[in-house]
Amino acid sequence: SAMKQSKQSYLPQINSPLIFSQWLEKLAAADLNQSRLFAHLSHHPKLVDQIPIKKETPIIIAIGPEGGFSENEARLAERCNFQPISLGNHILRTETAAVTAVAQVKLKLRTRG
């Protein structure tokens, strides 16, 4: 398997698309001991540069549709303790953004030792 070949001990989970507001409602009652991030097209801190991530804390990254989150969706996310982040200077396709986010988290965790 790819995990064995790359000597990885953790398989990132990428979930199927959901209706954003319904997903946030489910998370509202969930454990707050999570890093909650959402990729936003506005100028926010880049994930790899400034976002504190701890190895022992679950990380949730919300990736929006092709056109990005609406301002209403961004406000809803922030009310549910999500921090807006940037995945870089380019607008990415949704499926590319998910893989990019996971790669950036893995890079950040690896460089922290």
Mean pLDDT score, 94-112: 85
Mean pLDDT score, 86-109: 88
Question: Residue 72 has what pLDDT?
Answer: 94
Q: In the predicted model, is pLDDT for residue 2 greater than 70?
A: no
The domain segmentation of the chain, as residue ranges, is 30-111
Question: Residue 71 has what pLDDT?
Answer: 92
What is the dotted CATH code of the domain comprising 30-111? 3.40.1280.10
Long-range CB contact pairs, 65-71, < 8 A, 24+: 65/94, 66/93, 66/94, 68/40, 68/41, 69/20, 69/38, 69/40, 69/41
